Amino acid sequence: MTDPVTEDTRRDPLGLVAGGEGTITGTVVCAAVISYAGNKSDSVWDLTLAILGTVAVYWLAHLHAVTIGSALTHRHHPLAAIRHALVETWPIVTASVLPVGALLLSTLLGADLRTAAWIALVTTIVLLTGYSYVAGMRGGLDRWGCIAAAAAGAALGVLVALLKVGLH
């Protein structure tokens, strides 16, 4: 008999689909940093460090909040609370892999920093759209409901892109 947790981990190694809230939060944080720092960074490495550093701070804040919440609400022992919080919040970190990968790959393929930042930002919009569509499917929505969910995810990403345009 196969272990369902191991099986889910094989199908979703970064926890991006199963991670729900953390995946959306991590993706939006990446998009926001790209929007703000994309034109202010001197190099792709500066932008990458800004993304990863900001994601790390958000993750630590969520890790702390979920740990404390678990201990207070469920009266979990601190070690059990932190184990729960690590599983719950890790997708915030792993959500940065694809946008940062798009940023680095596009730079490697010859894009300048500004273009690479836009490619990474568009990647976050596509991801938010896809995650939202999948959430609609898993929630039992019909095709139009899934499309509406995807549109909501896309709108969130476009809102962040408009922030980029407004800031620069």
For 90-115, the pLDDT digits (tens) are 999 999 999 999 999 999 999 999 99
Count of residues for the chain?
A: 168
Give residue 14's pLDDT. Answer: 55
Residue ranges covered by each domain of the chain: 20-167
Give residue 6's pLDDT. Answer: 47
Element containing residue 72 per DSSP (H, E): helix 44-74
Q: Is the pLDDT of residue 1 over 50?
A: no
To the nearest whole number, what is the mean pLDDT of the chain? 88
**Percentage of the chain with pLDDT > 70?**
88
Mean predicted confidence (pLDDT) in 3-28: 67
Separation between Cα atoms, residue 22 and residue 39, nearest integer Å: 26
For 18-46, the pLDDT digits (tens) are 667 889 999 999 999 999 888 889 999 99
pTM summary value: 0.83
Phi/psi-derived region of residue 77, left when phi > 0, alpha when psi is between -120 and 50, beta in every other case: beta
